[in-house]
Structure 1
Amino acid sequence: MMKENIRIKETRIKLTTDIKDHGLIGFILKERFLLEDYIRRRPYFLTSLEPLSADEGPLIVRMMLKAGLIGGVGPMAAVAGTISELSLYHLMDKGSKYSIIDNGGDIAIINDRKVNIGLYAGDSPLSGEIGFQLKASRKPKGVCTSSGTIGHSISFGRADAVTVFAPRASVADALATSIANAANGDRDYEAVENALEKAESFRDYFQGVLVVVGENAGIIGKIPKLVKTDKKVTIGELWDV
């Protein structure tokens, strides 16, 4: 098993994979070039906070557009998850059965053994205290987190963390952003309830969602088994069972 950090401009990937000669850096450079070239010709793609309906361009663009339409957000809300998802497909094409691509908390994963993922939720007391135990699976999946209190991504809510478990990381990323945007209310529990109400409208696209606001948390659907951590492990750090 090999581990590697990959940094290409805004892309910050923590990679764990069973593929030695993965060629992932060149693959990501190519996908980023296609995306950047598209944005140069259509700058509104970069700035839109609303979904765009155009069904054109390279695969990375079409995936982001589709995810944005599903989540009701601009396509760039899905950029990190889409790069993770495409990178996972690239590794699977090379025969990978165990790969984790963590792109700033937006994770695409295939795992032939159990794996734990830690939760980072800013100043919430739950941050670093719990994680998720993912069962072994031959199917790829996405685990994406959005926050209104940490990170540089645009969010109109105040969730410490909204983590979405879905078959596709691109869609999970867009949904996490959309649900986190709805985490508003005078009290923390109201913000959780509003976020979960928003998540309800996306039930066809995810397995489960965890919303954390301060000391309050809520779940919709089915999330992986929760496990105790020791405050040293955050989302971006993974450890085998």
Structure 2
Amino acid sequence: MKNKSMFKNKISIEETKMNVVSDIDFEKIGLYDFIINQRNILKKYIIDNPLFLKTLQPYKVKNKKDDSNPKIIKKMIEGSNIANVGPTATLAGTIAELSLDYLIKNDSNYSILDNGGDIAFLNNYHNKKVIFGIYAGNSPLSGEIGFEFKNKSKNQKMGICTSSGSVGYSISYGRSDSVTVISENASIADGLATSIGNNVNGVLDQDAVENGLIAAEKFKKHFIGALIIVGESIGTIGKLPKIIETNNEKILNNFKEE
């Protein structure tokens, strides 16, 4: 498949701060309005179900046979229950995933949506690879390593999401500099990164990493691979893409194409 010209821009809507790269003109097809609509659907659901916003526990619907909830709510509930976290822990990844689905529906073969470090992407170009750097706060490994993804199968969506106990404003009960989870669904990867990160604790950095890996073990069927960083200690589980040196001090919310 011949590479097409790429469209790049940043979409900023309230808490959603998304860097987008795509082979289709996502502004013309209304991606901005699509995200606004998804956020409005979520806001309405929260008004009717305030616990959805507040709880830090898996969210259970009252009537399991009721299939009328919008897709964004279903995705967040699914991620919440799989990862054993509150549904809002899956929000950034869910928005990224649904936005990717919207672009694919509009015939995209290559799109990356980076929603504050929670990423959904598709790459159908066999001669194109994507490198994602890992930002891990004050760890000496921050910005020095990353993942190299190459096309392996057509229409294979991927999610790569990162949580941290030392960076950002999200709630974490652990002390990881970064927990990065790769899954076919960004909504699930986002919740799992939070859940695993909550268990990254220990007096020594290496103990904290080991405890995170033990916690990750029980979720293995829901992700492809995960990487945990605490200080100079690093641990991996599952099948990860090629880990490479990035040597990029400005890796935050950044990726490059080759």
Q: Percent identity?
A: 48
Cross-structure match for 1:35: 42
Q: Which amino acid aligns with 2:21?
A: T
Are the counterparts in 2 of residues 150 and 160 from structure 1 also a CA contact under 8 Å?
Answer: yes
From 201, 205, 209, the equivalent of 1:188 is 205
Query: Residue 220 of structure 1 is aligned with which of 232, 237, 242?
Result: 237
**Aligned residue number for residue 69 of structure 2:** 57
The alignment status of 1:13 with 2:13, answered yes or no, reads no
- Aligned equivalent of 1:76: 88
Q: Which of residues 55, 62, 65 is equivalent to 1:48?
A: 55
Task: Give 5+ residue unaligned stretches, structure 1.
Answer: none
- Give the alignment's TM-score, normalised by structure 2: 0.91
Secondary structure of 1:127's match? coil
Q: In the alignment, is the contact (CA less than 8 A) between 1:117 and 1:235 conserved in 2?
A: no
Q: Residue type matched to 1:73 in 2? A: V
Output the CA distance in 1 between the equivalents of 2:16 and 2:185: 18
Q: In structure 1, what is the equivalent of residue 225 of structure 2?
A: 208
Deviation at 1:233, TM superposition (A): 4.0
Q: Aligned letter for 1:27?
A: F
In structure 2, give the amino acid aligned to 1:15: V
Distance 2:104 2:219 in 1: 28
Q: Does 1:166 align with 2:183?
A: yes
Tell me the SS of whatever aligns to 1:149.
coil
CA distance in 2, matches of 1:149, 1:236: 16
Name the TM-score, length of structure 1 as normaliser: 0.98
- Could you give the per-residue CA deviations for residues 36-84 of structure 1, whole angstroms, max 9, x where no partner exists? 0000111110010000121552110111001000000000000000000
Rounded to whole Å, the distance in 2 between the matches of 1:198 and 1:79 is 22
Deviation (angstroms), 1:175: 0.2
Aligned CA RMSD, in angstroms, stands at 1.0
CA–CA distance in 2 between the matches of 1:235 and 1:225?
20
How do 1:107-122 and structure 2 match up within 5 A?
107-111=119-123, 112=125, 113-122=128-137
Cα offsets for 1:152-187 (capped at 9, x unmatched):
111000000000010000000000000000000111
How many residue pairs are counted as aligned between the two chains?
241
1:67 matched to 2:84? The reply is: no
Which residue matches 2:165?
Answer: 148
Structure 2: gaps of 5 or more residues: 1-5
CA distance in 2, matches of 1:192, 1:232: 23
